A and B are shown apart, each in its own frame.
Chain A
Amino acid sequence: MHLTRPDKKSDIMYLLRSGTLHAVLLFVTLFFSCSDVGETGGERITLTYWSAANQYEIDLAAAIVDEWNGRHPEIEVKHQPIPEGSSSEEIVLASVVGKTTPDVFSNMWPGDIELYAQADALVPLDHFVDYDSFAASRYSPGILQESLANDGRCYHILWKTNPIMMAYNKKWLSRAGFDHPPETYEEFLNMGETITADTDGDGYTDRWMGITQILVTWWQRFFDYYTLYIAASGGKTLVENGVIDFDNNTSVAVFRFLQTVFSRGYFPRERMDARSDAFLHSIVATRFVGPWEVVHAEKFKPEGFEYDFAPVPRPEGCSGPVYTYGDYKSIVLFKNSRHPEEAWRFAKHLVSRANDLKLLEMTNQLPLRKGLTQDTLFIPYFERNPMMERFARQAQYCRGTDYSPVLKEIFDAISQEFEASVIYGLKPPEEAVRRAAERARLISDQL
């Protein structure tokens, strides 16, 4: 092995080279990891506004922001779609922890409000002088009540709602001999009996009455148990007067209804991910969905497919309008903001009448504004989109979620019991509901 005599220079080179490699790596990564934070400079104020990242809302936000910047050159709003990721909630959490929050955020799930409010991350909106008049002009009394957190203060603007209704296949309804969509559990079950069948004679059912995802993810319950509970209880949520009280006959009735639906095989136990859209391809006759289904259905429906929407079913003997779960999204101001007053002005602008119309037209989502269907500004839109009008009328009878920092875990507890009792029939509804409530109380007490 022949060694040439090295000089000091070459190993300094080595040091430099490996050091440089590391330095370059570090610089490159730091470069990529820089994020934008709202700045202030001189007299001009800049606000950062995060919106949801789906294309419709990006377009909407861009339109609103452009118009605002044109009219308010002294308050520039920089719009950024929230980084699209596994879950916008995690991104928001990361930004709160890292103190890189925007001034205004418009995709906040109200269930998280209590968590962030208790962590002192949100600006209480009712401390703005004109809040009361704003709220009175926008909200119906019911929504006004819902906008208040546990401490009686308001931390968000309720922006839009996606009420859950029952989509149904019109052809099958009439073919099965029914002249109206099922309004009670009894009717639903009867229809299920007729419709669920094995159409190709291979011994396995291939047509079902409906479907709900059997995933145990906590938010799945919004589309079955929670919606039905709100409907059956005439608009009650899980918590009443600060106390968890959903372990009642209503919950049991809902659990029992859904348990029956599964045990009789009207809903499949399969995940249905392994094939194309079950409702549009006439594999299931009903589905509990929100207004997003309208756009989706229009885009993907096969030739000759007819559908409509009706309120979700309730037990017999219920009266009054049918309530449902309205998947709300809120606008919030983060406390780290250096210009809360200006941020508030922009936030109000986001929900002006004109922009609410834009919301409808550009994203087909319903603003949480009272009197939507009677307002002359919006009537033309609903005339063009009759399906959306169904949802708009339903939107008057909606409930959101309660205020609790452990809401997700409570829904998770319900989901666990739901899975065991409703989907797999392992325990009677009474026991499941009781245990779910017990666990929910335990979780809340552990705070």
Chain B
Amino acid sequence: MTHSKTIFTALVFAALALYPVFTGSYGVDLVTKIMIYAIFALSLELLVGATGLICFGQAAFFGIGAYAAVLLSPEGSAPSLLWLLPACVLASAAYALAVGALSLRTKGAYFIMVTLAFAQMAYYMVHDTPLGGGTDGIYLTMKPVLGSLLDLDKSTTLYGFTLLMLAGVFGFLALLGRSTFGRALAGIRVNEQRMRATGFSTYPYKLAAFTISGGIAGLAGFLFAVKDGFVNPEMMSWHLSGAVLIMIILGGLGHLRGALLGAFAFALLQEFFKSEAVFGDFAKHWHLGLGLSIIASVVFLPRGLVGLPGQLKVRLMGRNSLPEVRREAV
């Protein structure tokens, strides 16, 4: 990692750590939600940004993690975090393994649409059958605990735990990115043909990335279920798959901090367009502003927010900067 990137990332995490000190419960709640989206976005970044696999069904893994949290929790007692969290991550990873094994036989546009359809399968499973409580969703009766150490009912504790998870996922993906496995994924993204010609069987690598990505999305879903205490089929909706895709592109593909930036930017855009203070009655039509912003970001920010300093540099100083050589994805 170059120095400026490390410093930037460190500052972001420091700011997040100190944030609860300066805000009230609404702020803490909002940023917890954004951090969960950031974990969700990081999971997709591994697939799209690092490996070049455009998955349009990430919400399924998110939703499975959430539903598993509720369905696996016993009725009367608070479940232990120690087994519930891994169980939810494994559940999502398992579905990702199955979906990946089938989808990775296809390429390009087919792959995009196949992943979408598999997510729809999961959606209808919880929407149409009594399995997931139908359209009403189900409630999480008691939040998981870690003995007497962690009471996730308290919003600041949950905030801290989520921040810890975010930092852990970020660190894990940063290490993964520069490992031999991560470099292989990058090679697959840039030139899969050459990878195969030198002797890499690319399918197992892609499947592994797909599974890990699903597991991380499941972690995000688990946290979301714990936070809201409630799950419903909309957590598997393809609109959510679209939203997380927008987050990483808005932030900047190929950079872990892009996923962070994108999650924040997207959530703040939503809050902005929904705010009645700014738009009054029109606020209920916030999808319009969001849709236009998405279109504008694709046109004007081709490299996302992460690429904005570079874009400005080119505009101000002319085209004399070499293309970025991405040795590491952070």
Does A pair with B?
no
